[in-house]
Amino acid sequence: MLKNFKESDCSRFYELILFSLVVLFFILVLRNKFDDHLKFKIFLRNFNSPIINQSRNLNLLNVILNHCPSIFGTKSKFFPTLWLFSGHLQTIYSAFGDFSKIDEIDYQRKLIKLPDGGQLALDLTPPDRFSTFNDSTPVLIVLHGLTGGSHESYVRSVLSPLINRLGWRAVVANFRGCAGSKLTSQILYNAGATEDLRVAIRFLKQTVCPQTPLHAIGFSLGANVLAKYLGEVGEDCPISSAVVVGNPWDLYAGHCFLESNWIKRIYSRALASNLRSMFSQHLNIFKTPSGPIDLHALISNPSQSLYEFDSIVTRVLGNYPSTEAYYKSQSSIRFAGNIRIPLLSINALDDPIVTIDAVPIESVLENPYLVILISSHGGHLGWFEGLWKPTRMISRPILEWFQAMDLVLEPHLKTTSSFDMKEEPIETLSTTIIKSQGLKHPPGNQIAGL
């Protein structure tokens, strides 16, 4: 009986091993089959690559090949979390996931006065690293998404390793009225308003880091602002290198994309709801007899689309002749050809908010400074990997890019560009210490981005 039992048990054991080997074989076959599908697609000009270090005769292509394996190399792959297998799930998790206990960051907030009576909240981190006037440690300028701020998880996922591993410093330029800042004038930010970014750069060069290499990153709407600024200043750019993540590039194409079916219209209304929630925190500034905004039209329709909000608010405050004119004139794709610093653009094919058709892939043939990275998966500002506690993979290529650029670039240490020749000192209104966890979205403001 014992002998028969052992033989039976042994037979089952071998069957289990055989079954496991078969399963492993099919997993490897499937992985190899979809391996190319999971790789990043990179678009850059592989001829006449610009020399970015004259003394060492280094061009942009060689730097990427030698220093950025997550962009162009063995690690240039993205395996999404199994239960976040679609762009919708990646985007929803980015909006509703609990990231409060990871990448915790303290900031020193400086409120600076703007020429039009408004104010800009600059969040500096680490707080104690901006007291030395002649510190040459690189500084990363960050522009967030639609109604976000320095508290956003996608911002902190980059800043935490940038500060703790690379030893950099960072400044988040919060858009007017965002991240708990007060709106003090009837001027609001939009997807193409670069004036506040210019003031922020000039303030940094005048005060805390005059001899410091500046780099920049923009997310979603902030990506469009940053790319547009880089194209506006062209050769005379005070920033050494930049990254744009989830950039809509063509705002009119993005509008058409968000109105193309009922699912995308849900995103459009969610984004408009974010804007209405943010705007409602500052209604008093617009409650004047000569106020430019039709507040009744804004408040009476809680299911507005993004286009409808832009028609009521953004178009009017920006003095654009039409909403379509706003979208077309402020799209960063119009300025891509004039960018003259290394710029990495990262988008996902399954982004439910930003259409991949707007990404200027053909522009890399005309502009050798532009590098475009596209993944099959990732959603909008997602790119989550791992099983039980997903983390953002996208921070790896971003950090590799900035580390490589800082290593080889001859920094742009101009005090200001010829576009920003106003030399009067910028007034600091206040300085406080804040925690990223203390900055919350206004009620109803959930989906950050675009």
Q: In this structure, is residue 289 part of a structural domain?
A: no
Query: Looking at 70, 380, 420, 441, which residue is catalytic?
Result: 380
- On the question of pLDDT at 3 being above 80, the answer is no
* Band of pLDDT at residue 440, cut at 50, 70 and 90: low
Q: State the pLDDT at residue 50.
A: 87
Which of the residues 103, 196, 351, 406 is marked catalytic?
351
What is the pLDDT, as a whole number, of residue 447?
55
Q: Supply the pLDDT for residue 219.
A: 98
pLDDT band at 2 (very low <50, low <70, confident <90, very high): very low
Which of 247-251, 260-264, 442-446 is the most confident on average? 247-251
User: Does 310 reside within a domain?
Assistant: no
> Is 107 a member of any domain?
yes
Confirm whether 380 is a catalytic residue. yes
CATH number at residue 205: 3.40.50.1820
Domain that includes residue 389, residue range: 37-251+334-438
What confidence tens digit (pLDDT) does each residue in 106-123 have? 999 999 999 889 999 999
Q: Is 220 a catalytic residue?
A: yes
Residue 293 lies in a domain: no
Question: In this predicted structure, what is the pLDDT of residue 216?
Answer: 98
- 151: in domain: yes
Q: How many domains, the chain?
A: 1
Whether the predicted pLDDT of 439 surpasses 80 = no
Tell whether 325 is covered by a domain. no
Q: Considering the entire predicted model, what is its pTM? A: 0.89
Check residue 129 and give its pLDDT.
Answer: 81
Helix H, strand E, coil C: the string for the chain is CHHHHHHHHHHHHHHHHHHHHHHHHHHHHHHHHCHHHHECEEECCCCCCCEEECCCCEEHHHHHHHHCCCCCCCCCECCCCCCCCCHHHHHHHHHHCCCCCCCCCEEEEEEEECCCCCEEEEEEECHHHCCCCCCCCCEEEEECCCCCCCCCHHHHHHHHHHHHCCCCEEEEEECCCCCCCCCCCCCCCCCCCCHHHHHHHHHHHHCCCCCCCEEEEEECHHHHHHHHHHHHHCCCCCCCEEEEECCCCCHHHHHHHHCCCHHHHHHHHHHHHHHHHHHHCCHHHHCCCCCCCCHHHHHHCCCCCHHHHHHHHHHHHCCCCCHHHHHHHCCHHHHHHHCCCCEEEEEECCCCCCCHHHCCCCHHHHCCCEEEEEECCCCCCCCEECCCCCEECCHHHHHHHHHHHHHHCCCCCCCCCCCCCCCCCCCEEEEEEEEHHHCCCCCCCCCCCC
Kindly state whether residue 446 falls inside one of the protein's structural domains.
no
Annotated active-site residue in 220, 241, 273, 311: 220
Average pLDDT, the chain: 87
User: 147 in a domain, yes or no?
Assistant: yes
265 or 210: which leads in pLDDT: 265
Q: Is 37 a catalytic residue?
A: no
**pLDDT score of 445:** 47
Check residues 31 and 304 and name the one with the higher pLDDT.
Answer: 304
